[in-house]
Chains A and B, each alone.
Chain A
Amino acid sequence: MRTRSRRRLAAGAAVYSSIVLTTWLAAGILLLLVGYLVFRGLGPLAKVIKYGVFANSGSALLPIWFRTLYLMAAAALLALPLAMGTGIYLSEYARESRLNAWILGAIDGLAKMPPIIYGLLGWGALAPRLGEGKTALIVLLASAIWLLPQLSTMTYAALQDVPGSFRRDSLALGASRWQTAWRVLIPYARRTLAAKVLEGMARVGGEAAPVIMIAAAWPSSYGQPPTTLPYHLYSSLVGSVGPAASHHFGTALLLILTSICLQGAAVQLRRIDNDLTGSVRDWERGRW
């Protein structure tokens, strides 16, 4: 038996420790970022929750936060039925063809489109038609349109991820495609679906770009109360001169906590899902 040379062992240890160091450093920066925001923002946030408004800027935070939550939920509710229908149709009904692949690619491309495009839609197409003052409605519509392709592809992917044996066995029992999708595939994929919806909501609630564009449609309304939390942070950052003030950190903390909570719920859902059906997945993998 040949023993490994010292040199190779040392090299291995060096590579290993550098990998560990890099990873922990990167994750540490992320944690540090949250920690810094908590450190600077917790005081102002507690005060704003206690008194309703920021002491030095006089702006109320909680109504904006509620409006953001409402926007996230409403956009998801608006987009979900249509998106799920599209995903189910493309996954379960449409025949595999070049056209179908092209449609899927197009929807996926639009799902990955930068949010500013959907802001542009609100700014250039929805705002002139719906008229002034309907900012909330326009933001909601633009967000729902932005979510639509995301949720469609996610439904498609979740259905495609269900082990094929379930689809096969259900159809062999004489169930229709819809019964198969509704009674077997979606119950199997429901946690993934819920996790992806939460992720999409987090994206909608955290993105400032569409609101920046839509607010730009009416320069006169610059001073009006902005619609969502990220836009509030952006406009107060841009509007203020000098270093960032404490209320910025309060807003940022609330924003990042909202995003982390939604993501945390999504992670938890996926984890339970993995435990529940891991055995089926393992079996499928072994069979192929």
Chain B
Amino acid sequence: MLRCRQRILGSRQDNSSYLVGGLTTRLLQAREEAWRDPVTSPGFCPNGMNRLSMGTQGTRERLAGTNRRFHFGTEEILQLCAAATLAILGAVVIFVVKGAVGSLLSMDLESAVIVTAAANSLAIAAGAVIVALPVSLVSALYITELAPSKPARAIWVTVRLMSQVPSVVIGLIGLVWLTSREPSSAISPVMAAAAAPLLLALIIYPRFTSFLVEHLRQIPASLRASSYALGASRWQTIAYTVYPAARSGIAAAGFFGMGRAMGDTAVVLVLWQAFSGGNLIQEQSQRLFTLPTAIAVTAERGWHHSEVFVMALLIMIFSLVFSSLGRRFTQRHWRGKE
């Protein structure tokens, strides 16, 4: 190992006669210092960065080269970071799964509540996506394909600014909207449940739109240009060129939006707290009783302790399924290659 380095070094010294000038000598000197004592050489790669290598050369070879028992390079530190992240995230998953398995084994679950909550969650989220997705698609097409630059920019900025609106605020708006005409006692939970998807749509519309705009911008301009060059009208270009290329993005947005709308807590929770009368037994109020609401309410009031984890596991599984389905449509194949 050391010998072969010296061979490289020696051969370079032999061949370096054609490299002239003091500068070159300095560069070579610096390299030689690094070779001689790779760990402590001053002025040359003080933190051992350029000893890092890649590809076929693994940690073992580098260990052998530095004559140190514990070589701690950048790669190892980054590896530790990744391992720590995975450990923390793994702990989160294990915590939920363990709790859920424990509850399932204890056999005193009210499974009806869980099933109802899951169904409510799915229904409300699907409603939100059905409302928001077409509007977002239209907006995204308007921004990228149709609008003059100034209105497009105005809408784009609005959408971007509103894409992280806190959901409690939307909950407040929903409350105000529903109680604007009649007192809250007159509002049935069914009505509130019908309003929930609209409110959630308000939350996911900006996200959908910015996601779809980013996706449509990825479509190369040459694709559109060649469509126009073949004599297609603007509508034909949208219908036959832009839309097919955007289809995967629309599907991905739909799945991501489902996950997002299902996971949203505060909007439905605020409505549930306001309109259910706080009575879990009431049949009708269960329309608003989504998984996150159920988790928050059960935790808050100390009911059905065991069901919390099962519902959390359920929402985790739903979220994972939706995000992996969404990711399948936005898969990138490029990875640091030429």
Contact = CB atoms under 8 A, between A and B. Distances in A.
Contact of B142 (A20, A119, A149, A259): A20
B265 A179 contact: no
Interface in B160-200: 160-169, 171-173, 175-176, 179, 184
B225 to A, nearest CB: 12
A158 interface: no
Interface string B231-273: 0000100000000000000000000100110111110011001
B43 interface: no
A129 to B, nearest CB: 11
A109 interface: yes
A102 B186 CA distance: 51
Interface in A98-140: 103, 105-110, 112-121, 123-125
A203 interface: yes
Interface residues of A, number: 101
Contact of B78 (A89, A249, A262, A285): A89
Given A22-B135, A263-B160, A114 B262 contact: yes
A60 to B, nearest CB: 19
A62 interface: no
Determine which residue in B92, B206, B322 has the highest number of CB atoms from chain A within 10 A of its CB, and name it.
B92
B300 A216 contact: yes
Secondary structure call for the B interface? helix
B93 to A, nearest CB: 8
A106 B88 CA distance: 12
Given A105-B324, A259-B165, A120 B96 contact: yes
A168 B235 CA distance: 41
Given A85-B82, A121-B95, A164-B336, A107 B89 contact: yes
A55 interface: no
Nearest to A29: B202
A206 interface: yes
Nearest to B139: A23
B263 A208 contact: no
Interface stretch (B5-13, B17-25, B49-57): B49-57
Nearest to A262: B164
B78 A212 contact: no
A121 B319 CA distance: 16
A286 B53 CA distance: 32
Contact of B263 (A24, A96, A116, A267): A116
A213 B299 contact: yes
A280 interface: no
B50 A234 contact: no
B316 A117 contact: yes
Contact of B336 (A15, A16, A160, A256): A160
A260 B161 contact: yes
A234 B293 CA distance: 13
B130 interface: no
Interface string B320-336: 10111001000010111
B166 A208 contact: yes
Contacts of A110: 89, 92-93
B92 A145 contact: yes
A192 interface: no
Determine which residue in A23, A110, A117 has the highest number of CB atoms from chain B within 10 A of its CB, and name it.
A23
A216 B269 CA distance: 14
Interface in A11-70: 12, 15-16, 19-20, 22-24, 26-27, 29-31, 33-34, 36-37
A26 B323 contact: no
A233 B169 contact: yes
Given A85-B77, A89-B78, A120-B299, 10 more contacts: A19-B138, A22-B138, A31-B158, A89-B82, A92-B336, A112-B319, A115-B265, A213-B299, A256-B166, A263-B163
Interface of B: 49-54, 74-75, 77-82, 84-86, 88-89, 92-93, 95-96, 99, 135-136, 138-139, 141-143, 146-147, 154-155, 157-169, 171-173, 175-176, 179, 184, 202, 205-206, 220, 222, 235, 256, 259-260, 262-266, 269-270, 273-274, 292, 295-296, 299-302, 308-309, 312, 315-316, 319-320, 322-324, 327, 332, 334-338
10 contacts: A22-B139, A27-B154, A30-B202, A106-B89, A117-B315, A124-B309, A164-B336, A209-B296, A213-B299, A248-B172
Task: Pick the 4 closest A-B CB pairs, nearest first.
Answer: A114-B263, A85-B81, A206-B166, A209-B265
